[in-house]
Amino acid sequence: MSQFGRKLLAEGIGSAILFATVVGSGIMAEGLSGGNVAVALLGNTLATGAILYVLITMLGPVSGAQFNPAVTLVMRLRGNSSWNEAAAVVLVQIGAGILGVWLAHAMFDLPILQLSAKSRSGPGQWLGEFVATFGLVLTILGTLRHKPEAVPTAVSLFIVAGYWFTSSTSFANPAITIARSLSNSFAGIAPADAPGFIQAQLAGALAAHYLAKALFPDRG
């Protein structure tokens, strides 16, 4: 298999496992929390942070462990791939991520095909997604610049924090936003609300990219 083929495979496996974890842990947490939303969110948070650390550590050396079109876009703007390669990676992230959501449904004996009815919209939510994605991308770029071996820990901890300090619970990822719109579960988002989240995420990623160029200049 070619190096790029391995990258696509790693991005697919990682996206599927990550998205299955986000949705599956949400289903499990909601079922066990007895209606306590804070407890359910805590369970969802811990599972997501833990699997992110595992996946980035395991697959980072193969693909960069992006699992996120916003991150892939920024890496393309930084010259790490061609536009065609970036497009292929994004398609794999979205497609494999949706399969991961369907896998979570199957594990919990739920209908595979669903649409979320959970409304997540409004300026506060959009600002939350801007902040979440801005912070995630800045964390990645800054940690790569200063301490690359700490990326799995830094990214995982930022997402754990983001679940709690942002109004949107930190989706910070266009692919997972699309996939979560196909799950009428604790982690879901209504399909009509997904475009607003995605626009805010891309804006946050681009803002982080341009700030990082000034904040973390290339070594001369």
Dihedral, 13, 18, 23, 27 alpha carbons, nearest 10? 100
Rounded average pLDDT over 42-61: 98
pLDDT digits (tens, 9 = 90+) for 165-182: 999 999 999 999 999 999
Confidence (pLDDT) at 219:
58
Confidence (pLDDT) at 181:
98
For residue 218, is pLDDT > 90?
no
> In Å, what is the CA distance from 143 to each residue of 30, 57, 119, 147?
34, 14, 34, 5
For residue 18, is pLDDT > 60?
yes
Closest C-alpha to 153, from 85, 90, 76, 65: 65
Confidence (pLDDT) at 220:
44
DSSP string computed for 108-171:
TT--SS--------SHHHHHHHHHHHHHHHHHHHHHHHH-GGGHHHHHHHHHHHHHHHSTT---
- pLDDT band at residue 217 using 50, 70 and 90 as cut-offs: confident
Rounded average pLDDT over 16-32: 97
Confidence (pLDDT) at 26:
97
Rounded average pLDDT over 196-217: 96
pLDDT digits (tens, 9 = 90+) for 2-11: 999 999 999 9
Averaged confidence pLDDT in the chain: 97
Query: Percentage of the chain surpassing pLDDT 70?
Result: 99
Euclidean distance between CA atoms 188 and 208, whole angstroms: 26
Euclidean distance between CA atoms 212 and 168, whole angstroms: 24
For residue 20, is pLDDT > 90?
yes
Structural domains present in the chain? 3-215 (1.20.1080.10)
